[in-house]
Chains A and B, each alone.
Chain A
Amino acid sequence: MAGRYDRQLALPQIGPEGQRRLAASRVLVVGVGGLGLPAAAWLAGAGVGQITLVDHDRVELSNLHRQVLFTEVDLGSPKVVACARHLRALNPEVRVVERPERLAPGNVRALVAAHDLVLDCADNFAATYLLSDHCRALGRPLVAASIAGSHGHLGVFCGGAPSFRALFPLPPADAPDCAGAGVLGPAVGALGLLMAQEAIKLAVDPAASLAGRLLVVDLWHTRTSLLDFRAAPEPEPAETVAILGTPELTPEDVLVDVRSPPERAADPVPGAVTAAPRQAARAVFFCATGRRALAAAVRALAETPGRPVGVWLRQPGEAPAPLASPGACG
Chain B
Amino acid sequence: MIRVLFFGRLSDRAGIEPWRLPAEGIATVADLIARVAARDPALGRELAAPEVLVAVNQRVVSRSAKVAAGDEVAFLPPVTGG
Which residues of A approach B to under 8 Å, CB–CB?
A: 31, 33-36, 121-125, 128, 145-149, 151-153, 167-172, 175-181, 183, 188, 191-192, 214, 216, 218, 221, 223, 225-229, 231-232, 298, 302
Set of chain B residues within 8 Å of A298, measured between Cβ atoms: 51
Q: Are A167 and B16 in contact (CB under 8 A)?
A: no
User: Please, which residue of chain A has its CB at the minimum distance from the CB of B16?
Assistant: A221
* Contact among A34, A149, A175, A231 with B82 in the assembled complex (CB-CB below 8 Å): A34
Please name 12 further chain A to chain B contacts, defined as beta carbons within 8 Å, in addition to the given A123-B80, A225-B58, A227-B58, sorted by A numbering. A34-B82, A146-B80, A153-B79, A171-B80, A172-B77, A176-B80, A218-B7, A218-B16, A228-B58, A228-B60, A231-B59, A302-B50
Identify which of residues 54-82 in chain B touch chain A, using a CB-to-CB cut-off of 8 Å. Answer: 55, 58-60, 74, 76-82
Interface of B is mostly: loop
B8 nearest CB neighbor, chain A only = A151
Q: In the complex the two chains form, is B50's CB within 8 Å of A175's CB?
A: no
Bound Cα distance A172, B50 (Å): 8
Residues of A within 8 A of B59 (CB): 227-229, 231
Which residues of B in the span 1-41 have a Cβ within 8 Å of any Cβ on A? Answer: 5, 7-9, 11, 16
Compute how far the CA of A14 lies from the CA of B7 in the bound complex, rounded to whole angstroms. 34
Pair count A-B, CB < 8 A = 112
- The majority secondary structure among interface residues of chain A is mixed
- If A151-B8, A225-B74 touch, does A146 touch B79 (CB 8 Å cutoff)? yes
Q: Which residue of B lies closest to A177 (CB)?
A: B81
Q: List 7 A-B contacts (CB under 8 A).
A: A123-B81, A147-B79, A176-B81, A177-B80, A188-B82, A227-B55, A229-B60
Residues in A with CB closer than 8 Å to B78 are 125, 146, 153, 168, 171-172, 175
Binding site for A on B (CB under 8 A): 5, 7-9, 11, 16, 49-51, 53, 55, 58-60, 74, 76-82
Q: Of A33, A227, A231, which one neighbours B74 at CB under 8 angstroms?
A: A227
